[in-house]
Amino acid sequence: MPFLSTPLTLSATGGILGSAWISGSVAALSICAIPAILQTGAPTEGLLRGWHLQFTRGMYYVPTTGAFIALNYLYLAYRHRGEGLEWRGYALGALSNLLLAPFTLLFIGAINSRMIAASSGARKPLGQEAARQLITKWGNLNAVRIFMPLAGAALGLWNLLQ
């Protein structure tokens, strides 16, 4: 590992840990929260309320944290490139964290909209089976998102150790 100033080392460590933390948070939703919601035996309204609660909490911190980590990685890439050091891992780490947003919009956005509308009464209520299927599908697609910030952590660590 080449000599790095303490601020750059701390910045890289923060980015790596932040990416890993987001990955773990996303994983917890698909591995723990969604199965727990589905196993409650709650009526449709209860299922949607449980999903909406965890969705809202994640919505507040995952995109913001992912963007902050991406900016951190871009700063590291800029500084490393300027010093003639390996920088591509940080740039790719930034991209992998930013991919959460377009993936969500493209593949999960319609499910989010449908369940939010159903839970708020803005749309025809969902049946029990339809709600369970949407929540299950959401959990499965969310599980794919685990690997985006996880790749960011791996790429950041790889770059740090270069």
pLDDT by position in tens, the chain (length 162): 555 678 899 999 999 999 999 999 999 999 999 999 999 999 999 999 999 999 999 999 999 999 999 999 999 999 999 999 999 999 999 999 999 999 999 999 999 999 999 888 777 788 999 999 999 999 999 999 999 999 999 999 999 998
Predicted structure pTM score: 0.90
> Which residues have CB under 8 Å from 68's CB, separation 6+?
18
Backbone angles phi, psi at 26, to 5 degrees: -65, -40
Residue 32's φ and ψ, nearest 5 degrees, are -110, -55
Name residue, tokens 């933390």: 21
Contacting residues for 120 by C-beta, under 8 A, at least 6 apart: none
Answer yes or no: are the C-beta atoms of 155 and 12 closer than 8 Å: no
